[in-house]
Amino acid sequence: MKRIIPLLAISVRQTFYRFMAIAVLMSCTQAILFKRALEQLSADFYTYPDMFAPLETVVSESRIHLVFIAALILLCLVLAYSACDSGSKSIYTLKRLAVSQERICCLWTVYYFFCISALILWQLGLIIIFSKVYMASGPGLYSYSDAHTLFLAFWRNNFLHSIMPLEDISRHLRNISLIASLSMGITAFSFRQRTGKRSYSGILCLA
C-alpha cells in the first residue's frame, strides 16, 4: 500500500489538470453547438407549428458526439504520452520506488479505465443539463413529461444510448470491454515507448 499510493499520486499529478482542461473545453464547445442547434430548431418550430423537434433531434443536429469523440481521443493521447518520457521526474520516482513493471502497468491500466469512465460520466452529466435547457426553452419543443422525454431520447439516439444504455446489458458489456481495451492499449503503448520500442496498440484500440 505504501508503494501504491505514490504510484497513484504520480498518475494523478501528471493527468488531473489536463483531464479537467479537456473536460471543460468539451463542455464549452458542446454547449455552444447545442445552443445553436436548439435556437435553429426552435425557430423552425415556431415558423412551422406542425414540426416537432424532440431532444434526440437537437442532439443529432448539434453534432456534440463528434466533440466527445475528439475529447476521448485527446484524453487517450494525454494518458499515453504522460508516461512515455523516460527522462521525466515522474519516471525517475518510479525507478526509486523499486516497483515491478507488471504492477505499474496493472495499476495504471486501472487508473486509465477510471479516467475514461470519468469522461463518459462527465458527458452524461452534460446531456442531462442540456435536456433541462431543452425542456425549459419553450412548451412547443416537447410533449411528454421531463423523465419521459429524457428516456425516449436516450433510447432513440445511438450516441445517447451508448453513453447510457439503460437496460441494454449487451451495450453495457460492450462499453466496459471498449474502455478496458483502450486502457490496456494505452498502458502497452506507454510501456513500449519507455523501453524504446514502437507500439501501435493505442492506435488500434482507438480505431
Distance, first Cα to last Cα, the chain = 36
Count H helices and E strands in the chain, helices first: 9, 0
Rounded (10°) angle between helices 101-135 and 146-156: 130
Give the per-residue pLDDT at 121: 95
CA–CA separation, 111 vs 133, rounded Å? 33
- The grid cell for 70 is 475528439
CA–CA separation, 149 vs 136, rounded Å? 12
Please, which residues have CB within 8 angstroms of residue 138's CB and are 6 or more apart in sequence? 42, 45
Give the per-residue pLDDT at 140: 46
Please, which residues have CB within 8 angstroms of residue 168's CB and are 6 or more apart in sequence? 161
Q: What is the pLDDT along the chain (207 residues), one digit of tens a residue?
A: 556 666 667 677 778 889 999 999 999 999 999 998 888 876 655 544 445 567 888 888 889 999 999 999 999 988 888 766 544 555 555 556 566 667 777 888 888 999 999 999 999 999 989 888 887 775 444 444 556 667 777 888 888 888 888 788 888 999 999 999 999 888 888 777 666 555 555 555 554
Question: Which residue, 61, 55, 48, 58, is CA-closest to 142?
Answer: 55
- The grid cell for 15 is 493527468
- The grid cell for 38 is 436548439
Torsion sign across C-alpha atoms 124, 181, 82, 66: negative
Residue for grid cell 524504446: 196
User: Model-level pTM?
Assistant: 0.81
Tell which phi-psi region holds residue 196, choosing left (phi > 0), alpha (psi between -120 and 50) or beta: left
Q: Are 91 and 134 in contact (CB under 8 A)?
A: no
- The grid cell for 83 is 508516461
CA–CA separation, 25 vs 73, rounded Å? 14
Give the per-residue pLDDT at 65: 92
